[in-house]
Every structure is written in C-alpha cells, then in structure tokens.
A = this chain, B = another copy of it.
Amino acid sequence: MALKKTSKEEILKNSIKLFKIKGYHNTSMSNIADDCGLIKGSLYHHFKSKDDIGLEALKYIHQYFEKNIFSVAYNKKLNSKEKITLFIKKTDEYFLKSKGGCLLGNLALETSSSNKMFRDEILAYFKAWENALVAILEIEYDDETSLSFAQECVALTQGSIMMMNLTKNSENYLKIGKKLIKLF
C-alpha cells in the first residue's frame, strides 16, 4: 500500500553499505530493495536509476566528510596540533566503525574509468580532503611541502584502509594515524 516505508536517506545508507561490501556492479537493485524492505520498482520512486543512487551515495559521503571531518581544518578555535589530532581521530572513528572501507576509494577503482560523473565526484572528494590537510599544514610548512605531505597522507590513508579491509586487521591502519600526528 501507500504507507511511507523509507526515505531517500535510508535507501542511500543501505546502498552505501552494500556498495562497500559487494562492490557497485555486484550490487543489484534487487539487493538494495531487499535491504530496504521494498520491491525493486519502488526504488525508482526515489531515484531515477542505479547510477543516480550511486552518484547520490558518493555525494552523501562526500558531504558527511565535509561537514564532520574536513571542517575541522577550518575551525578557528583550534591550533594546528589540535586540528591534526582531531582530524585523524575523526577519520579513524569513521573508518574503523564503517564496514567495507571507503566508499569513494572503492568506487574509484571499480567505476572511475567507466563513469565520468562518478569520477568527477570522487576526484572532488579527494581534492577536498587534500585541501583540508593543506589548510592545517601550511601554518607550519611551506606550500610545496604542505601539498606533498597532504597528498601522501591521503594516499597512505587510502592504502591502509584497503589493507585493513583485506586483512580484517586494523592494527597497521592505526599505526599510520599515530605516525602522522607525531610529525607535528
């Protein structure tokens, strides 16, 4: 019947979970619908297509990071050391509790060559991450060093998430964070 069962956000959250664990192309509209307690067709009431869900999912996570994590870099009440500590603490919290790694990282590898809109969104996310780190670092370091370091930090974090995901062991991932903080 016509009772409201789900919201767009609920569908996105379920989709994100599935995309991270099963991959994008291996997650079907049926899988998503099952997870939401809907039938497949009903998903199209909320989203135009599977790619629409995919893109909205990427944007959803991107926004979450902007609001909750990247924003730390621009918080005027904190000093550099506090910023980097909080930034990494929040990043860790997110990736340790979230099963399946980083949605944007995962989809970067699987979809970015075939889907231009996905690729653009993923690039924007990583650029924002990099920019946030640069904003923290440039107080202590010159521009070039800050940028290099920020880029290294993003790459290292993504690589570590990937290894943590594969080995199902978070030890090494955590070491990385500690090391980064020490550099300040």
Contact = CB atoms under 8 A, between A and B. Distances in A.
Interface of A: 21-26, 100-101, 105-106, 108-114, 119, 122-123, 126, 148, 151-152, 154-160, 162-163, 165-167, 172, 175-176, 179
Nearest to A179: B152
A175 B148 contact: yes
A37 to B, nearest CB: 19
B23 A110 contact: yes
Contacts of A176: 152, 155
B23 A114 contact: yes
B126 A100 contact: no
25 contacts: A22-B114, A23-B114, A25-B26, A26-B110, A26-B111, A105-B109, A105-B162, A106-B109, A106-B110, A108-B166, A109-B109, A109-B162, A112-B166, A123-B166, A123-B167, A151-B172, A152-B176, A155-B159, A155-B176, A156-B156, A158-B158, A158-B159, A158-B162, A159-B162, A162-B162
